Amino acid sequence: MHYLFVLLALGALLIVHELGHLVAARLLGVRVPRFTVGFGPPLLSFRLGGTQFVLGAVPLGASANLQGMNPHRSAEEDTSGFGTLGPLKRMAIILAGPLANYAVALGLLFALYSSGTHVVVPLTVGTVVPGSEAARAQLLPGDKLVAVGGKPLESWSDFVTRVAEGVGGPLELSVDRHGEPRTVTVRPRADERGAGRIGVSQQYVFRTHAPGEAFTQSLVHTGRVASETVSTLMALVRGPQVAGRAGPGALMRQESSDVASSTASGADALVRALVAASVALAMLTLVPVPGLDGGRVLLLAIEAVSGRRIPPRVETVAQTAGFLFLSIGIVATAGAEIVRALPSPQAPAAMPPAAATPPVEADAGTPRVVTPAPP
């Protein structure tokens, strides 16, 4: 069910992406003869504003057919084609797709923060997993984390990083409990990825924001998700094994699980999952690889700087090579996901509770309502 949600969400976001291209093209005078939603035999077709809109039998994804987009036909006599525009205007049309996804994410978050949602309490413990290292050290919900090993903390992400790197060794935590300073010592346990965990999550409170504050929070939130997406893409470059742990599948599993975290916060988590998917799609398409929007923008930037048009044959070869590169990456990532899903032949028949359910911590990225893991 979670993967079905992700599939439908990505399909809707791809439609938004292509609509961004369509709107920008029309505003700059480029004809868009056809806009297709989904694929397969057409079920519905109508004309609006000079564009033929077609709904396919499988309504997943979309494509906008811009006049003159094919570089081999750009020399045709056409006063309203994509190829007749200067590189900066063509760049604007290409960038409109990712910007549309980012704008949707901002709009969803603005509505969420304006209507009220759970927001993070900086560096404050929200839950402590029973039996975890944090519980043994007598950390309590509401404790404010001040320093680790005498070094002041700047953010929850900073705390998570230091704990992750401290596997097996003692870590001295300085906390503030209702104005009273305390010091506790913990020994982080390694999780399935080898990162240290002590069994705490970040605290959240429910708040309704004024419009100005809601917009500011939305910008901060999307910026945080974009940073996480860049980190994920960098992890993918390291290879399929890392992709299985930190690739799009891992990101979607985490975001999808939030949707079903609880009935009370289901709508909240649903919006956050859509925001994460929308920002991730925007960032992914901006990767400067031929075959993606980022690759087209790179070629147009080269054209704008050099003052010379990229030969159609060079552009076609670059786009083909980029498509092959992306195909290899998709196959490698899918393979890692399949391997991850298969049961391990060396897995023991029974595991002690502490090993079967490792302590969990709040994600250092997108704020979310956290449901504590069972002990």
- Catalytic residue positions, numbered: 18
Residue 345 burial (10 A CB sphere; 0-12, 13-18, 19+): exposed
Among the listed residues 218, 251, 219, 221, the one whose alpha carbon sits nearest the alpha carbon of residue 234: 251
C-alpha span between 4 and 32 (Å, rounded)? 31
Rg (CA), the chain: 24
Q: Give the list of residues 6+ apart from residue 90 with CB closer than 8 angstroms, or none.
A: 82, 300
Kind plus residue range of the DSSP H or E element containing 215: helix 211-237
Q: Where are the beta strands (DSSP E) in 153-208?
A: 171-177, 180-186, 189-190, 196-197, 200-207
Residue 181 burial (10 A CB sphere; 0-12, 13-18, 19+): exposed
C-alpha span between 233 and 223 (Å, rounded)? 15
Token pair 């996901």 is found at: 337
Pinpoint the alpha helices (H) of 76-116: 87-115
DSSP-derived letter for residue 283 is H
Q: Which residues pair with 12 in a beta bridge?
A: none
Backbone φ and ψ for 151, nearest 5 degrees, come out as: -100, 125
Token pair 């939030």 is found at: 258
Torsion angle (degrees, nearest 10) of CA 273, 276, 281, 283: 180
The answer to whether residues 102 and 278 touch, using CB atoms and an 8 Å cutoff, is yes
Helix (H, G, I), strand (E, B) or coil at 64: strand
Task: Give the Cβ contact number of residue 157 at 10 Å.
Answer: 17
What is the amino acid identity at position 27? L
Helix (H, G, I), strand (E, B) or coil at 76: coil
